[in-house]
């Protein structure tokens, strides 16, 4: 499984973020929860990661 795309974060990526003003990125659930607060970002759980995303 790919690692989180955020610098310095080594948790496994569990969510794909669709970022209108930047490239899509795959991040861990902790970073996804923080980033998805921003307007326009859509979070899409990666397959197999559903149990970690609530
Ligand atoms: Zn992360």
Domain membership of residue 3 (yes or no) is no
Residue 1 counted as domain residue? no
Q: What is the pTM of this model?
A: 0.79
| Protein residues with C-beta less than 5 angstroms from the ion ligand 1 | 4, 6, 9, 11, 28, 31
Query: Taking residues 4-29, what's their average pLDDT?
Result: 96
CA 51 to centroid of ligand 1, rounded, Å = 17
- List Cβ neighbours of 13 (8 Å cut-off, separation of 6 or more): 1, 2, 3, 4, 5, 26, 27, 28, 46
The parent domain of residue 33 ranges over: 15-52
17-34 pLDDT tens trace: 999 999 999 999 999 999
Distances (CA, A) of 52 to 14, 22, 23: 8, 25, 24
Tell whether 43 is covered by a domain.
Answer: yes
Q: How far apart are CA 28 and CA 3, in angstroms?
A: 8
Say how many Å lie between the CA of residue 50 and the centre of ligand 1. Answer: 16
Contact predicate 17/24, CB 8 Å: yes
Residue 6 domain flag: no
Domain count, the chain: 1
What's the gap in Å between 12 CA and the centre of ligand 1?
8
Residue 48 has a pLDDT of 64
Establish if 46 belongs to a structural domain: yes
Query: For the residues 5-16, what does the mean pLDDT come to?
Result: 96
Is residue 7 included in any domain, yes or no? Answer: no
Question: Does position 13 have pLDDT exceeding 60, yes or no?
Answer: yes
pLDDT higher than 70, residue 49: no
Ligand 1 geometric centre to CA of 34 (Å): 10
45 assigned to some structural domain: yes
């Amino acid at each position: 499984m790919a690692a989180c795309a955020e610098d310095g974060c080594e948790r496994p990526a569990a969510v794909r973020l669709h970022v209108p003003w930047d490239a899509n990125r795959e991040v861990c659930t902790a970073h996804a929860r923080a980033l998805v607060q921003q307007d326009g970002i859509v979070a899409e759980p990666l397959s197999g990661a559903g149990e970690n995303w609530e």
